[in-house]
C-alpha cells in the first residue's frame, strides 16, 4: 500500500514539473514569436516611479586567490496603464536610462505582461529565479521520466501491433541511449547559452532528441533491416 502511494506521489510531482516546464516553454516561445512578428499589443503608459537595485559580491577565486569584486545594477519601473498599475522588475540600463517619472511611453504587451518599453526588450526570459532555477536543476530527471514514458509507449505499441516482446535489456538499452543523447544536447545548449545563442524553446530539444533515439532503437530491434530475422 505504501509503495503504491509513494509511486502515485512521485508520478504526480513529476507531472506537475512537466506541466510547469511546458508552460514556461510555451510562454517564452510565444513571446519571442510575438516580438519577431510585431504582434505585441501596443498601448501607452505613464512612468509612475523608478527604482535601482544594486548587487555586489566577489567573483573568481581559486588557488591563486584572484577574487575580484563586482557590482551589478538592475532597475524596476512602475507603469500606469489606464487605471492599472504594473511593476516591471529586472529592467536593464539600456531600457531604463531614458525613462523619467511622468513620462509617457509606448509599451508592448503579451497577455497583459509588459514585454517592451519604448521598443526595448524588458522581458527577463529564462533566468535563475525560483521557478526557472528549479526547472533548470530538475531538468535531467524530467527528461529521463519523459524518455522512459516514450520507451514504455513504444514497447506497448510494438507488442500490440506485431506481437514482438521486448526484453528488459532492450528497454534499458534504448532508454540509456536516449538519455545520453539528451545529456549531450544539454551540454551543447549550455555552450550556446554561454555565447547568448540559446533558443527559447530549448527544453524541447534534449527531450525530443533523446526520445527519438530511444524509439528508433526499439523499432530497429523489433523490426530489423532487411536481411535480419525479426524478433518474435
Do 94 and 208 reside in the same domain of the chain?
no
Note the pLDDT of residue 106. 93
Note the pLDDT of residue 182. 97
Q: Is the predicted pLDDT of residue 64 greater than 60, yes or no? A: no
Do 53 and 34 reside in the same domain of the chain?
no
Residue 90 confidence class, pLDDT cut points 50, 70, 90: confident
What's the DSSP call for residue 93? H
Do 205 and 90 reside in the same domain of the chain?
no
Q: Is the predicted pLDDT of residue 56 greater than 70, yes or no? A: no
Do 144 and 29 reside in the same domain of the chain?
yes
pTM of the model: 0.83
Do 107 and 91 reside in the same domain of the chain?
yes
Do 11 and 75 reside in the same domain of the chain?
no
Looking at the structure of the chain, the number of domains it has is 2
C-alpha pair distances (Å), 98 with each of 55, 79, 92: 22, 14, 11
Listing DSSP states for 163-221 in one string gives -----HHHHHHHHHHHHHHHHHHHHHHHHHHHTT---TTTTHHHHHHHHHHHHHHHHHH
Do 225 and 137 reside in the same domain of the chain?
yes
Look at residues 121, 144, 170 and tell me which one is the last residue of a structural domain.
Answer: 121
Do 181 and 104 reside in the same domain of the chain?
no
**What's the grid cell of residue 127?**
533566468
- Looking at the DSSP bridge assignments, the partners of residue 214 are none
Do 58 and 29 reside in the same domain of the chain?
no
**Of residues 204, 144, 198, the one with CA closest to residue 22:** 204
The residue ranking higher by pLDDT, 186 or 7, is 186
Instruction: Give the angle 28-30-31 at the CA atoms, nearest 5°.
Output: 65
Instruction: Give the angle 158-163-169 at the CA atoms, nearest 5°.
Output: 60
**What's the grid cell of residue 229?**
530475422
Per-residue H/E/C for 11-75: HHHHHHHHHHHHHHHHHHHHHHHHHHHCCCEEEEEEEEEEEEEEEEEEECCCCCCCCEEEEEEEE
What Rg value do the Cα atoms of the chain yield, rounded?
24
Look at residues 98, 121, 144 and tell me which one is the last residue of a structural domain.
Answer: 121
Q: What is the pLDDT of residues 163-184, one digit of tens each?
A: 778 899 999 999 999 999 999 9
Do 18 and 107 reside in the same domain of the chain?
no
Do 200 and 85 reside in the same domain of the chain?
no
Domain that holds residue 117: 40-121
Note the pLDDT of residue 165. 84
Average pLDDT (82-86) is: 90
What is residue 107's three-state secondary structure?
A: strand
Question: At 72, which CATH number?
Answer: 2.40.50.660
Note the pLDDT of residue 225. 61
What is residue 77's three-state secondary structure?
A: strand
Residue 1 confidence class, pLDDT cut points 50, 70, 90: low
Alpha carbon of residue 88 to chain centroid = 21
Q: What is the pLDDT of residues 128-160, one digit of tens each?
A: 888 999 999 999 999 999 999 999 999 998 888
Look at residues 121, 150, 171 and tell me which one is the last residue of a structural domain.
Answer: 121
The residue ranking higher by pLDDT, 83 or 203, is 203
Q: What is the pLDDT of residues 13-31, one digit of tens each?
A: 999 999 999 999 999 999 9
Do 66 and 146 reside in the same domain of the chain?
no
Amino acid at each position: 500500500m505504501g509503495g503504491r502511494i509513494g509511486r502515485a506521489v512521485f508520478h504526480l510531482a513529476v507531472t506537475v514539473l512537466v506541466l510547469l516546464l511546458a508552460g514556461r516553454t510555451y510562454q517564452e516561445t510565444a513571446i519571442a514569436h510575438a516580438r519577431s512578428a510585431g504582434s505585441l499589443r501596443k498601448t501607452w503608459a505613464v512612468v509612475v516611479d523608478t527604482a535601482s537595485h544594486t548587487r555586489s559580491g566577489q567573483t573568481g577565486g581559486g588557488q591563486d586567490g584572484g577574487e575580484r569584486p563586482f557590482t551589478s545594477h538592475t532597475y524596476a519601473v512602475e507603469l500606469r496603464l489606464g487605471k492599472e498599475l504594473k511593476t516591471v522588475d529586472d529592467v536593464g540600463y539600456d531600457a531604463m536610462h531614458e525613462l523619467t517619472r511622468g513620462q509617457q511611453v509606448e509599451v508592448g504587451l503579451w497577455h497583459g505582461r509588459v514585454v517592451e518599453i519604448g521598443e526595448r526588450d524588458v522581458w527577463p526570459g529564462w533566468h535563475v529565479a525560483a521557478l526557472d532555477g528549479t526547472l533548470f536543476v530538475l531538468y535531467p530527471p524530467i527528461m529521463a521520466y519523459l524518455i522512459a514514458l516514450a520507451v514504455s509507449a513504444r514497447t506497448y505499441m510494438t507488442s500490440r501491433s506485431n506481437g514482438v516482446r521486448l526484453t528488459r535489456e532492450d528497454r534499458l538499452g534504448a532508454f540509456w541511449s536516449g538519455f545520453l543523447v539528451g545529456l549531450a544536447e544539454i551540454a551543447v545548449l549550455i555552450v550556446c547559452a554561454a555565447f547568448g545563442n540559446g533558443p527559447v524553446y530549448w527544453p524541447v530539444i534534449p527531450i525530443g532528441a533523446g526520445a527519438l533515439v530511444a524509439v528508433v532503437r526499439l523499432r530497429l530491434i523489433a523490426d530489423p533491416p532487411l536481411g535480419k530475422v525479426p524478433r518474435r
